[in-house]
Amino acid sequence: MATITEVAQEAGYSIATVSRVLNNDPKLSVGDETREKIFEAADKLNYRKKLVQPQVKNIAFLYWLTDKEELEDVYFKQMRLEIETLAKKNNIELTTYKISEGIKKIPTNIEGFIAIGGFSSKELTYLRKLTSCGVFLDTTPDPDHYDSVRPDLIRITERAVDFFMEKGHTEIGFIGGNYHNPDTNEDEMDIRERKFRRYLESKNLLNEKYIFSKRRFSVESGYELMNQAIDELGDNLPTAFFIAADPIAVGCLQALNEKGIAIPERVSIISMNNISVTKYLSPPLTTYAINTYEMSKSAIELLLERIIEKRLIVKTVIIGSSLIVRKST
């Protein structure tokens, strides 16, 4: 791409004059012929003015996860790193606040926020007192007031079941984690399990004995739950499992391999997230890729729309996924 220096050489005017003309300096007094020559030179050289993103200050990044939760699920770490990188690229002054610090640690003068994690009703009420400009990543806890970007977990669940059915599976199990409700401090059924139950019931394929879940979305819980399934079901183990997240699937594969259960000959596995380790597992994991970069990019764009463009209407963005077929199916 051409520079202002090259445009000045082509037009035959000083760099200062060319710069002021191309930047539409209202205080510059030059003739129409001069302006025309400069713009013709810029067009000829395909010059494009560099747009400087105005700095957006006092943006809070609410990372409402513990260190253990991030360690258990690299999906959240990927989003955190991408938000931090994209904020710098877009000239956003971002300050991180963690759940351990508490909601009252957030300054009252913030212009907006990006949030990851689970928030209670009291915390959401407090945020609404601080700013109307906020974006939640991975969840939609307050769709009447704040934007959100999340993966289409319902559609992924349907597609995974459809994939298994197309391959002739009629005995399909589920292994997943639970949603921890910050209002009640109780564990509740995750949206993936709820959809799995409803969808298999509509296909007359639901078997309660094939469903296993506990709170954590971790390798350890996957290992524990698959061992529980093997012990309880024995030879009646289903021929396929939809796993709610890749870390859980890693533990499931470990348990199956230790018990000598052939994958995919005896049990097929599909998961979601497509974290980096999945292609190196034994066997490599079939999984739905969720593009955390596009999620993070959308979150940044939504926030800038609210702050700079003064958009008032609330948006919820649903991000699609793509199936990466490997040797676990």
- Average pLDDT of 18-35? 81
Decide if pLDDT at 51 tops 90: no
Confirm if 109 and 58 have CB atoms less than 8 A apart: yes
Decide if pLDDT at 234 tops 80: yes
Residue 79: other Cβ atoms inside 10 A? 23
* Confidence bin at 1 (pLDDT 50/70/90): low
* Distance, CA of 261 to CA of 167 (rounded, Å): 19
Q: The tokens of 188 are what?
A: 């509740």
Where is average pLDDT lowest: 15-29, 77-91, 121-135, 243-257?
Answer: 15-29
* Distance, CA of 203 to CA of 182 (rounded, Å): 34
**For the chain, what percent of residues have pLDDT higher than 90?**
75
Mean pLDDT of the chain: 93
- What are the counts of helices (DSSP H) followed by strands (DSSP E) for the chain? 11, 13
Confirm if 275 and 245 have CB atoms less than 8 A apart: no
Decide if pLDDT at 52 tops 60: no
Quote the Cα angle for 64-68-71, to 5°: 100
Instruction: Name which of 264, 217, 209 is nearest 243 in CA terms.
Output: 217
Q: How far is CA 61 from the centre of its chain?
A: 15
* Confidence bin at 69 (pLDDT 50/70/90): confident
Residue 277: other Cβ atoms inside 10 A? 14
- Average pLDDT of 305-313? 92
* Confidence bin at 50 (pLDDT 50/70/90): low
Decide if pLDDT at 230 tops 80: yes
Output the pLDDT for position 49.
64
Confirm if 147 and 315 have CB atoms less than 8 A apart: yes
HEC readout, 192-229 = HHHHHHHHHHHCCCCCHHHEEEECCCCHHHHHHHHHHH
Confirm if 150 and 140 have CB atoms less than 8 A apart: yes
Decide if pLDDT at 84 tops 90: yes
* Confidence bin at 53 (pLDDT 50/70/90): low
* Predicted TM-score of the model (pTM): 0.82
Longest dimension (CA), the chain: 89
* Distance, CA of 239 to CA of 262 (rounded, Å): 11
CATH 3.40.50.2300 domain position(s) in the chain = 56-151+293-321, 153-290
Q: Which residue has the higher pLDDT, 265 or 24?
A: 265
Q: Which CATH number fits domain 153-290: 3.30.70.20, 3.20.20.140, 3.40.50.720, 3.40.50.2300?
A: 3.40.50.2300
Output the pLDDT for position 309.
87
Q: The tokens of 144 are what?
A: 């009447």
Q: What is the DSSP letter of 59?
A: E
Angle at which helices 32-44 and 4-11 cross, to 10°: 120
User: Per-residue pLDDT tens for 248-304?
Assistant: 999 999 999 999 999 999 999 999 999 999 999 999 999 999 999 999 999 999 999
The CATH number of the structural domain formed by 56-151+293-321 is 3.40.50.2300
* Distance, CA of 323 to CA of 253 (rounded, Å): 19
Output the pLDDT for position 152.
97
* Distance, CA of 167 to CA of 270 (rounded, Å): 13
Q: The tokens of 290 are what?
A: 């969720």
Output the pLDDT for position 43.
83
Which residues neighbour 328 within 8 Å (Cβ) at sequence distance 6 or greater?
253, 263, 264, 268, 269, 270, 281, 283, 284, 285, 286
User: Per-residue pLDDT tens for 163-211?
Assistant: 999 999 999 999 999 988 999 989 999 999 999 999 999 999 999 999 9
- Average pLDDT of 79-100? 94
Output the pLDDT for position 273.
95
